[in-house]
């Protein structure tokens, strides 16, 4: 029998011994344990080390081994009920961010989620960029709180207009930027206007900050400015969260004539607009409209963008762009939260977007996303004729599909899971009541287009 298997058996025996002792009691010496359990000294040392790693015993050189205080063995369970009272009612609701059905089983085709399949990610370019970044002499030095100046320059150029590097704050991805901006601009109990439907992560971040999401209806051309003005007047909100380009989940692009109207409505209300520009590099070949912040001269717009969606989930690099005291407030929140974004990842992001390979990746990604979008739209139209694709998007990663009258989106999502397809129920995207039942279908998370077609065939069985 090996030493490792003998030590595991000895640990079992010693646990029984510990159950008979009290905290602070001394265990028999190693020599006594060797004789009592007929094992070697090495086996005893390994077993004691395993129990110490579990926190069951404490070794004191020169004194021996002792039963740890509050040592738990067998089926003992800690009583943490007191924490419910201590934590009060400030729960963080993550339900909009998680699938209530849990992780899908192996073999499930993913039409949910919000990231690219590995085959669409620039993994080789990323690996090379990270390797080059790690070789820099200052790679592990502390980074500036606002981010590397060179990377801020890149994001300033992406935003366009009169944006300068001083107007940019580097963040750990888009979700962190949302949370930071919400907490910097509004206080607990304040309303925040959101498009209806909207990104569930924004709803979760707003509620975690103590804000009250108030929905503003949108149509195929984006949020409705007339209803937006009414919402500002009725709620006295000082914050609007919106996605003007390739909106998640609908794919809508804010109409040109509405862009100025939205900013003007916020400006008249003395409010900020948080522009989530997550899809800047997710167009399908047609030009993505310039950011709202590029035409903003009053500091009304706080721009948010990220490299995560067009690159890879673990490239957690994004940016906030703003002018005036609001930027100072967000920098202060950054300092309190985490001081700065890890320098090697910033360096790797800079290497990535400065490489000619990045532009090639963006062009190839546009083609791949367009082809997948067309393929999924055609398959849904063919196999599920009473499901309605609201409008085929010209960018982004998703189709927004309206279900037949009377359908329950959560029940359809559950049935789809049973047939081996994971989809996102539309109810996750609404701050209040649903006007109809929808599903969001991701066409970028599957292995290839053939898998998309197979997924729709499976959904056809759900429909039937």
Q: What is the pLDDT of residue 463?
A: 58
Residue 76 — pLDDT band, cuts 50, 70, 90? low
Phi, psi of 361 (to 5 degrees): -65, -45
Question: Domain-by-domain residue ranges, the chain?
Answer: 3-67, 102-119+361-463, 122-357
Q: How far apart are CA 306 and CA 322, in angstroms?
A: 15
Residue 126 phi, psi (nearest 5): -65, -45
For the 122-357 domain, the top CATH level (class) is alpha beta
Mean pLDDT to the nearest integer, 206-230: 94
Convert the pLDDT of each residue in 385-406 to its tens digit. Answer: 999 998 899 999 999 999 999 8
Q: Does residue 181 have a pLDDT over 90?
A: yes
Considering the four listed CATH numbers 1.10.10.10, 1.10.357.10, 3.30.930.10, 1.25.40.10, the one that applies to the domain covering 3-67 is 1.10.10.10
C-alpha span between 445 and 38 (Å, rounded)? 57
Q: Within 13 Å, how many C-alpha atoms sit on residue 456's CB side?
A: 24
pLDDT for 254: 96
Strands 239-242 vs 191-196: parallel, antiparallel or unpaired: parallel
CA separation for the pair 274, 239 (Å, rounded): 7
**What is the predicted pLDDT for the residue at 99?**
73
Q: How far apart are the first and last CA of the chain?
A: 59
pLDDT number for residue 71 = 46
Mean pLDDT of 239-251: 96
pLDDT in tens, 116-159: 999 999 999 999 999 999 888 888 888 999 999 999 999 999 99
Residues whose CB falls within 8 Å of the CB of residue 268, separated by 6 or more in sequence, listed in order? 229, 232
Tell me which residue of 134, 129, 119, 149 sits closest to 352, measured CA to CA.
Answer: 129
According to the model, what pLDDT value does residue 139 have? Answer: 85
- Percentage of the residues of the chain whose pLDDT score is greater than 90: 67
User: Over 70: is that where the pLDDT of 3 sits?
Assistant: no
pLDDT surpasses 90 at 233: yes
pLDDT at 433 over 90: no
When pLDDT is averaged across residues 242-259 and rounded to a whole number, the result is 96
Which CATH number is 102-119+361-463's, of 3.40.50.300, 3.40.50.10470, 3.90.1150.10, 1.10.1040.50? 3.90.1150.10
pTM: 0.81
How high is the pLDDT of residue 107? 86
More confident residue, 88 or 43: 43
Contact (Cβ atoms closer than 8 angstroms) between residue 288 and residue 296: no
Pick the more confident residue, 106 or 283.
283
**Which residues, in sequence order, are CB contacts of 386 under 8 Å at separation 6+?**
404, 463
Give the pLDDT score at 70. Answer: 64
Sign of CA pseudo-dihedral 342, 347, 348, 352: positive
**CA 204 remoteness from chain centre:** 11
- The region that residue 268 occupies, defined by phi over 0 for left and psi between -120 and 50 for alpha, beta otherwise, is alpha
- Which SS3 state, helix, strand or coil, does residue 378 take? helix
Q: What is the pLDDT of residue 41?
A: 87
Mean pLDDT score of the chain = 90
Calpha distance 132→349 (Å, rounded): 11
The DSSP code for 166 is G
For residue 84, the model assigns a pLDDT of: 75
Query: What pLDDT, on the 0 to 100 scale, is given for residue 85?
Result: 75
């Amino acid at each position: 029998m090996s030493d490792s298997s003998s030590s595991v058996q000895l640990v079992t025996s010693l646990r029984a011994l510990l159950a008979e002792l009290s905290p602070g009691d001394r265990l028999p010496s190693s020599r006594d344990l060797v004789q009592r359990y007929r094992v070697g000294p090495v086996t005893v040392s390994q077993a004691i080390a395993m129990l110490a790693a579990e926190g069951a015993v404490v070794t004191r050189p020169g004194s021996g081994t002792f039963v740890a205080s509050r040592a738990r063995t067998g089926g003992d369970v800690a009583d943490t009920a007191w924490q419910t009272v201590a934590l009060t009612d400030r729960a963080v609701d993550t339900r909009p961010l998680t699938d209530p059905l849990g992780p899908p089983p192996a073999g499930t085709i993913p039409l949910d989620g919000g990231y690219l399949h590995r085959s669409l990610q620039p993994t080789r370019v990323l690996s090379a960029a990270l390797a080059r970044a790690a070789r820099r002499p200052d790679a592990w030095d502390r980074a500036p709180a606002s981010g590397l100046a060179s990377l801020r320059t890149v994001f300033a150029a992406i935003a366009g207009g009169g944006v300068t590097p001083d107007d940019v704050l580097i963040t750990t991805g888009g979700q962190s930027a949302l949370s930071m901006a919400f907490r910097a601009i509004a206080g607990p109990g304040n309303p925040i206007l959101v498009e209806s439907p909207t990104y569930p992560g924004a709803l979760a971040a707003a509620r975690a900050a103590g804000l009250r999401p108030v929905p503003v209806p949108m149509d195929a051309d984006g949020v409705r400015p007339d209803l937006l003005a009414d919402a500002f007047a009725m709620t006295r909100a000082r914050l609007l969260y919106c996605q003007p380009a390739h909106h998640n989940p609908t794919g809508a692009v804010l109409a040109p004539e509405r862009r100025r109207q939205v900013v003007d409505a916020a400006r008249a209300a003395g409010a900020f607009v948080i522009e989530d520009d997550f899809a800047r590099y997710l167009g399908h070949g047609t030009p993505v409209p310039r950011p709202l912040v590029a035409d903003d001269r009053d500091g009304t717009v706080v721009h948010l963008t990220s490299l995560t969606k067009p690159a890879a989930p673990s490239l957690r690099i994004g940016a906030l762009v703003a002018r005036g005291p609001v930027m100072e407030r967000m920098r202060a929140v950054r300092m309190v939260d985490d001081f700065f974004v890890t320098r090697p990842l910033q360096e790797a992001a800079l290497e990535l977007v400065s490489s000619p390979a990045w532009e090639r990746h963006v062009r190839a990604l546009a083609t791949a996303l367009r082809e997948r979008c067309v393929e999924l739209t055609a398959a849904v139209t063919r196999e599920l004729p009473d499901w309605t694709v609201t409008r085929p998007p010209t960018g982004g990663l998703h189709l927004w599909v309206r279900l037949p009258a009377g359908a329950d989106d959560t029940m359809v999502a559950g049935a789809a899971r049973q047939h081996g397809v994971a989809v996102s129920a539309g109810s996750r995207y609404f701050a209040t009541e649903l006007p109809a039942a929808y599903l969001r279908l991701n066409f970028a998370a599957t292995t290839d287009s053939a898998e998309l077609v197979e997924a729709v065939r499976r959904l056809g069985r759900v429909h039937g």
